[in-house]
Amino acid sequence: MDTISNMLYGFQVVLTFQNILFVFIGVLAGTLIGMLPGLGPISAIAIMIPLSYGMDPASALILMAGVYYGAVFGGSTSSILLNAPGISGTVATSFDGYPLAKQGKAGKALAIAAISSFAGGTVSVVALMLVAPLMASFAVSFGPTEYFALMLLGLTAIASLSEGSTVKALISATIGLIIATIGVDQQTGTQRFTFGNPNLLEGIDFLIIALGLFALAEVCSLILSRKSKMMDGNSNVGSLKITRQEAKEISGPIARHSVLGFILGVLPGAGATIASFMSYITEKKISKDPSSFGKGNIKGLAAPETSNNAATSGAFVPLLTLGIPGSGTTAVLLGALLVVGVQPGPLMLTDHPDVFWGVIASMYLGNLFLLVLNLPLIPFIARILYIPKALLISLVIIFCMIGVYGVSFSTFDLYLLLAFGVMGFIMRLLNFPAAPLILAFILGGMMEQSFRQALTISNGSYVTFFDSTVTVVLLILSLLSLTLPIIKSKLSKKTAEEEKEHLAS
C-alpha cells in the first residue's frame, strides 16, 4: 500500500508540464545521441549535464535518466540499420537485427526492438519500485565498514567483468583512485598533489574526466573513421507490422529476459552489455532451432533488446538505494546528482522522496515516449545518421568544452579536459577500459572516508572489518570477483589444450 501511495506521489512530481517536457527532451536527446555509433550513454549524460545546472534535483535526474535509457534504446537503431552498435549494450542486437534489415525487414526489426525494450523497461521499473525501498531499508543499518566493503565489491566486480585483461582493468581502477586523491584532504585539510596550483585544491571535477575519457576519446576514434559513411543510402525501413504469430513468438523471450536483465542490472559490474549477451546466449541455448540465430531470428533480437533495457532500470537500484554506481554510466549519473546537490543512498528515500519516486515514475512515462518515438518516427529519427562525421566531430568538441567551462568558468579545466581526452584515446588504443577508472574516481573519496571513519572508530584496529557478517560476506565476494576470472581463464585454457590433444590423437 505504501508503495502505491509513494508511486502516486512520484507521478505527482512527474506530471507537471515542466517535468513531462524534461522526460521528453531526455529520451529524445538520448535516442539521438545513442544512435550515433560510439557516442554512448556516458557521453550522452555528460554532454547533457550543463543543462541541469540550476534545475531542481528531481527534474535534473528525470532528464538524465531519460537520456540514459533513451541512449540504450537509440543504440539499437544503429545496430539494426548499420550493424554499427551505438553502444556496447546493443552489440547483441545487431546479431539478428542487422540480418533482418538486410532481408528488407528493418521496419519489423525496429518495431520488435521497440516493443521488447518497452516491455523490458516497464517490467524492470515495476521491479525497481518494489525492490528499491526494501534495499534502502536494509542499507540504513550500514556503517562505514559495510560501505567500504560494498564499494570495494562494486569496484572489483566492474574491474573483473570488464572486457579483456583483468590486470589492465585493475590498473585503470587504481589510476582512478589516484586521481581522486588530488586536492585538499577532507579530514586533515592536507593538500595532496596540488603542486601549489589553486585550481587543483578542490580536486578534478568528475565531468572533466567523464567527458575527456569518453566523449573526447570518442572524437579521436571518429576522426580516424571519418571517411567511412555513417549510413549506406538506404533509408527505407519497410513495414513496421508484426504478425500475431510473431508477437506470440517473442512474448516468451520478453517475459524471461525482463527478469534476467533486471537481476543482472542490479548486480555491480554486470550492466546492459553482459545482460544482453547472457540473454542472447540463453535464448539460443533453449531454442529448438539454434542454427537460425544470427540469420535474422526474431527471438534473437527480442531477447537482448528486452534485457538491455531491463538492466538499465535495474542499475538504478544500487545507485539510488546504496549510493553505489554499478557501472561507468551510473557513476556519471551519480556525479550528475552530486552536481545538483543530492547524495544518493539509503537516506535519499526520506531526504529526497521527490527525486527517488519522481525518477521511478518518470521511467513509466519515458518508456511510453520511447515507444511512441521509436515506432512511427523512426525513419525520420534515423536521418541523424546522415550527419557528416567531419561536422559532428567539431560539434561534439564544442559541447564538451561548454560542459566543462560551465562547471568552473576556468580555462585551466579545459586544458585538463584536453589532457584527459588524449589519455582516454591512448587507453583505448592499449585496451585499458575507462569504466573502472571513472567508477574508482567517483567512489574514491567515499571509499577513503568510510575506510578512515571505520579505523578511527576502532582506534586503528583492522579487526573492525571482520566484526560484521555483512562486511565479511562483501569482502569475500570482492575477493571472489577478483579470483574468478583467473580460475575461469585457466579452466578455459585447460579445456582448449585438452581439445587440441583430443584432435591430435
Contacting positions for other proteins (CB under 8 A): 50-51, 53-54, 163-165, 167-168, 170-171, 174-175, 177-178, 181, 185, 187-188, 190, 192-193, 219-220, 223-224, 226-227, 388-391, 393-395, 397-398, 401-402, 405-406, 409, 411, 414-415, 418, 421-422, 425, 429-431, 448, 451-452, 455-456, 459-460
Work out how close the CB of 214 gets to other proteins at its nearest, in angstroms, rounded to a whole number. Answer: 16
For other proteins, the closer CB: 226 or 252 = 226
Work out how close the CB of 54 gets to other proteins at its nearest, in angstroms, rounded to a whole number. Answer: 6
Output the DSSP codes for 376-429.
TSHHHHGGGGGS-HHHHHHHHHHHHHHHHHHHH--HHHHHHHHHHHHHHHHHHH
Cell reading at 338? 552530486
For other proteins, the closer CB: 20 or 455 = 455
For other proteins, the closer CB: 380 or 412 = 412
For other proteins, the closer CB: 372 or 414 = 414
Q: Residue 183 pairs with which residues in a beta bridge?
A: 192
For other proteins, the closer CB: 60 or 127 = 60
Work out how close the CB of 453 gets to other proteins at its nearest, in angstroms, rounded to a whole number. Answer: 9
H/E segment holding residue 446 = helix 435-457
Work out how close the CB of 156 gets to other proteins at its nearest, in angstroms, rounded to a whole number. Answer: 13
For other proteins, the closer CB: 219 or 359 = 219
Work out how close the CB of 26 gets to other proteins at its nearest, in angstroms, rounded to a whole number. Answer: 16
| CA atoms in the 13 A half-sphere facing the CB of 280 | 25
Work out how close the CB of 350 gets to other proteins at its nearest, in angstroms, rounded to a whole number. Answer: 30
- Residue 277 near residue 335 (C-beta atoms within 8 A): no
For other proteins, the closer CB: 72 or 475 = 475
Task: Pick the closest to residue 417 from 446, 396, 391 (CA basis).
Answer: 396
For other proteins, the closer CB: 376 or 388 = 388
For other proteins, the closer CB: 308 or 464 = 464
Cα end-to-end distance, the chain, whole Å: 67
Work out how close the CB of 293 gets to other proteins at its nearest, in angstroms, rounded to a whole number. Answer: 25
User: Could you give the 3-state DSSP secondary structure of residue 459?
Assistant: coil
Other residues' Cβ atoms within 10 Å of the Cβ of residue 243: 9
For other proteins, the closer CB: 397 or 470 = 397
Work out how close the CB of 121 gets to other proteins at its nearest, in angstroms, rounded to a whole number. Answer: 29
User: Could you give the 3-state DSSP secondary structure of residue 185?
Assistant: coil
For other proteins, the closer CB: 51 or 370 = 51
In the block, cell 567539431 appears at: 394
Residues in the chain: 505
Work out how close the CB of 249 gets to other proteins at its nearest, in angstroms, rounded to a whole number. Answer: 36
Cell reading at 324? 553505489
Work out how close the CB of 267 gets to other proteins at its nearest, in angstroms, rounded to a whole number. Answer: 23
Work out how close the CB of 422 gets to other proteins at its nearest, in angstroms, rounded to a whole number. Answer: 7
| CA atoms in the 13 A half-sphere facing the CB of 246 | 17
Helical spans, DSSP H, in 162-268: 166-180, 206-210, 217-224, 244-266
- CA 361 to CA 66: how far, in whole Å? 11
Task: Pick the closest to residue 139 from 304, 347, 307 (CA basis).
Answer: 347
In the block, cell 527534474 appears at: 59
Q: What distances in angstroms separate CA 150 from CA 154, 259, 433, one per listed residue?
A: 6, 24, 21
- Residue 389 near residue 230 (C-beta atoms within 8 A): yes
For other proteins, the closer CB: 163 or 232 = 163
For other proteins, the closer CB: 185 or 467 = 185
Work out how close the CB of 87 gets to other proteins at its nearest, in angstroms, rounded to a whole number. Answer: 18
Q: What distances in angstroms separate CA 310 from CA 234, 246, 290, one per listed residue?
A: 31, 21, 24
CA gyration radius for the chain?
22
Work out how close the CB of 459 gets to other proteins at its nearest, in angstroms, rounded to a whole number. Answer: 7
- CA 135 to CA 266: how far, in whole Å? 11
In the block, cell 579445456 appears at: 495
In the block, cell 562494486 appears at: 154
Q: What distances in angstroms separate CA 290 from CA 60, 246, 276, 284, 301, one per listed residue?
A: 44, 17, 17, 5, 13
